[in-house]
Amino acid sequence: MTYPNLFADAGIPGGDVKRKIDDAFETIFFDREERFYFEMGPDMGYMMDTGNKDARSEGMSYGMMMAVQRDRKDIFDRLWLFSKTFMYQSAGKYRGYFAWSVSPEGRKNAQGPAPDGEEYFAMALFFASRRWGDGAEPFNYGEQARDILRHCLHQDEGEEGGQPMWDRDNHLIKFVPELPFSDPSYHLPHFYELFAGLADREDRPFWSRAAQSSRDYLEIACHEKTGMAAEYAAYDGTPVMREHHGYFYSDAYRVAMNIGLDAAWFGPTPGLSAIADRLQGFFADKISPENLACYAIDGTVIAEPAILHPLALIATNAAGSLASRGPHRLALVRDFWSRPLRKGDRRYYDNCLSFFCLLMLAGEYRMYV
């Protein structure tokens, strides 16, 4: 498969792109001052959320996806063993899920899961199985991925009283298993397309429907003029107003990135391309971090809270260019290219999303199936 390379379209030399990706990976995993990957003992490692001083299922699964994309089985296995040892729930209503937050020492800060971690764990494991082959448990990657997806859909069929992560009636991912609303940034139709060929055979029709349901959902969850989605949204797409989560805030930036990768892997769709166009039109004259803010999804500036992750917003809007057909697509790619990784306490989220967007825009975020 040929993946689109928007850095090349923007006139950026391939050697420069390769160096920037290599340098970003080196910074995240090995730079003495700026890394947020840390090794534990002879065979484990974790990704630290530097703003909150914990390890999250989101970040652990992101790190695994980075490792499999860069062919670093050593890092992948360390992250996976930490996740299975300290985050995995072996009993109770969350059996088969992963605690969403643990301390760097592995102590659970919370028992409940966050579904974006599970879906990234599963996809990274499937890619690892195809890229490196399966080993002895827990490195039997393919079976581990299928087990995660099995719990995601059938958790309420056991005796512990748990809840699935997807609503089986509307095929939409939930914010958490117990609550009947979603997080638009959790919607990864491009992952579900692949799950439809890799999950347990009896569940494959569900994942195929989930891919289309998620694309349809994003069209109603993203504002008709600005393209923005809230962090939390009801199944009808309307924002769920819980503190700042009803606004276009940190989680919600990922929607553009996800739309971009869906277009890169499976081709653009008119509805999702229109969302990317609207987002880019809204932000085209606000491209500098000092001009960015928290917004209601209609574009109204919200004074508090202040924006936490401006680089993440800039990076994901650039990645949306993979789906966009508007006039700003290459200008936003060039602007993102010019920006260094973030430094300081809040670097974790910005730099995770920036790294993924670098891979996407270079045509280097690959499917291993």
Distances, alpha carbon 48 to alpha carbons 189, 322, 351, in Å: 27, 29, 12
Note if the bond before 138 is cis, omega within 30 degrees: yes
Question: Phi-psi category of 70—alpha, beta or left, where left has phi over 0 and alpha has psi -120 to 50?
Answer: alpha
Kindly report the number of other CB atoms within 10 A of residue 32's CB atom: 5
Closest CA to 80 of 117, 111, 32: 117
**58 is a catalytic site residue:** yes
Catalytic residue among 49, 54, 58, 277: 58
The answer to whether the CB of 317 falls within 8 A of the CB of 283 is yes
The answer to whether the CB of 63 falls within 8 A of the CB of 35 is no
Catalytic residue among 118, 251, 262, 350: 251
Task: Write down how long the chain is.
Answer: 369
Helix (H, G, I), strand (E, B) or coil at 255: helix
Measured distance CA(42)–CA(39) in Å, rounded: 8
Residue 55's H or E segment, with its range, is strand 55-56
Measured distance CA(127)–CA(123) in Å, rounded: 6
Measured distance CA(225)–CA(298) in Å, rounded: 7
Q: Catalytic site residues?
A: 58, 251
